[in-house]
Amino acid sequence: MAKTAIDKLGWGIHLILTIFFDPLVNGINRILRGKVIIGLIWIFTGGLFLIGWIIDIYTMLVNKKISFLA
């Protein structure tokens, strides 16, 4: 898979963005990766009512793989 601009940010920066701006950043991230519907749902529901936000943070801390999240 080709690296996107999101992948090139690095794990630490991506973790900080996930903690503070997850619904918006990861909604846009999903849209940029071609998952438009889930990206819009993510943005308009606040990271799936914060459940998705918690899952994203946990996944980043455990796996440290950015591509796994989208």
d(CA 17, CA 8): 14
Per-residue pLDDT band at 20 (split at 50, 70, 90):
confident
Number of structural domains in the chain: 1
Could you tell me how many residues make up the chain?
70
Q: pTM of whole model > 0.85?
A: no
In a domain, 12, yes or no: yes
What are the contacts of 29-37 at 24+ separation with CB within 8 A?
29/69, 29/70, 30/70, 32/4, 32/5, 32/6, 33/4, 33/6, 33/70, 35/70
Residue 25: name the closest of 55, 47, 49 by CA. Answer: 47
In a domain, 38, yes or no: yes
Q: Which residue has the higher pLDDT, 7 or 1?
A: 7
In a domain, 68, yes or no: no
Per-residue pLDDT band at 64 (split at 50, 70, 90):
low
Domain that holds residue 31: 7-63
